[in-house]
Chains A and B, each alone.
Chain A
């Protein structure tokens, strides 16, 4: 829908603000219609294979970006289809203060019409070297393959859960300039293909 604005008229003769009328008790009352704004939103996908200490996905908002990054959602998709012997793995979601040396990932804008270019200072990599800081929370799951029956409940349902806390009046994890986030494998294990799907927003 087209974005618009108005300057309130002096005599209520111009633009119409949308309201709904309800009868509550003996009163007809009006409730305004509003819509929830959204920041410029991007998806990024890291398709990885488990390896000890691998930073599967790192997002870093470098100095000079002129933007703030909001981490909105994180989905974990186990994409291991061939049979392997799975293990029990721990990954840590941590803040970072630098990020380099990995393979660059290219985010996809959710709205090609409205989205501005992602600042070059916002670096998203898999396999990066990063300076770690605070641990936010761990993730534990198996890297076992998807079964060919409906018994793959763990991975199938896990893929639909957003692992970033979100809710009413809850701040997203916010990355200001010089700040980042990484997901680091802690358990020493190899094998098992994963996809890390992150949705983030940008605001000036």
Chain B
């Protein structure tokens, strides 16, 4: 988005800046109130995706011409396997990519209904059949065993509450500029189990 500024008028007649006052040492000083700005945010859910080797369970592409940059904020992995299966240890890779097609189209949901519509070039797919993969970012390893029926099997429940994307103050999220994307690809050969892949991303002007 475009950078801007406000020129505060002189002579104490203009805009009022919200502060709170504190006594620090011998001085009464003011601390200014700030709001944490947020960017238009979207939820993309690939629900109940059955496991399969080499499946791109969810992929997002910021296609050429969008005029936007996509920041990947959150990734949650929610085990949706509720009946008993015999799970195995799985690896999936989180990779950059440059193109995807095929599979199912996912329509992201805006966190605020007043958000602008997503650019048509920003696409989210599940089980894309053609993906041009590039750099490996990091792997995910987990079991595709079913959700536990007792409290003694915490893995699936707790894993669902963790954000698997690195984020933090002064950390750049993985950003998708035009022609860039990200995919999550199952590596291990297993067709057992299913997961919901829940992606949260923001969109800003390029």
Contacts and interface: CB of A to CB of B under 8 A. Distances in A.
Interface of A: 1-10, 15-18, 32-37, 78, 86-90, 95, 134-142, 144-147, 151-158, 161-163, 165, 167-174, 176, 179, 187
Interface stretch (B69-77, B118-126, B131-139, B184-192): B69-77
Contacts of A163: 161
Contact of B169 (A2, A90, A168): A168
Interface stretch (B55-63, B86-94, B95-103, B149-157): B149-157
B47 A138 contact: yes
Interface string B163-199: 1000111000000000000000000000000001010
Given A16-B30, A34-B34, A167-B74, A173 B82 contact: no
Interface of B: 8, 10-14, 16-22, 24, 27-41, 43, 45, 47, 71, 73-74, 76, 78-80, 82-83, 109, 111-115, 146-154, 156-158, 160-163, 167-169, 196, 198, 200, 202
Given A169-B37, A169-B39, A4 B19 contact: yes
Contacts of A88: 82-83, 146-149
B79 A142 contact: no
A201 B154 CA distance: 31
B78 A137 contact: yes
A63 to B, nearest CB: 14
B132 to A, nearest CB: 28
B44 to A, nearest CB: 10
A1 B158 contact: no
Contacts of A1: 20-22
Contacts of A167: 73-74, 163, 167
Nearest to B42: A171
Given A1-B20, A176-B112, A176-B114, A33 B31 contact: yes
Nearest to A149: B152
B79 A140 contact: yes
B36 A171 contact: no
Contacts of B33: 34-37
Contacts of A138: 45, 47, 78, 80, 196
A168 B167 CA distance: 8
A6 B156 CA distance: 52
Contacts of A168: 36, 167-169
26 contacts: A1-B21, A4-B18, A5-B18, A7-B13, A35-B34, A36-B36, A37-B35, A87-B149, A89-B82, A90-B80, A135-B47, A136-B45, A137-B196, A140-B157, A140-B160, A141-B157, A142-B150, A144-B148, A147-B151, A151-B152, A153-B158, A156-B151, A157-B154, A167-B73, A169-B37, A176-B114
Contacts of B112: 171, 174, 176
A15 B200 CA distance: 43
B151 A165 contact: no
B161 A161 contact: yes
A155 B158 CA distance: 9
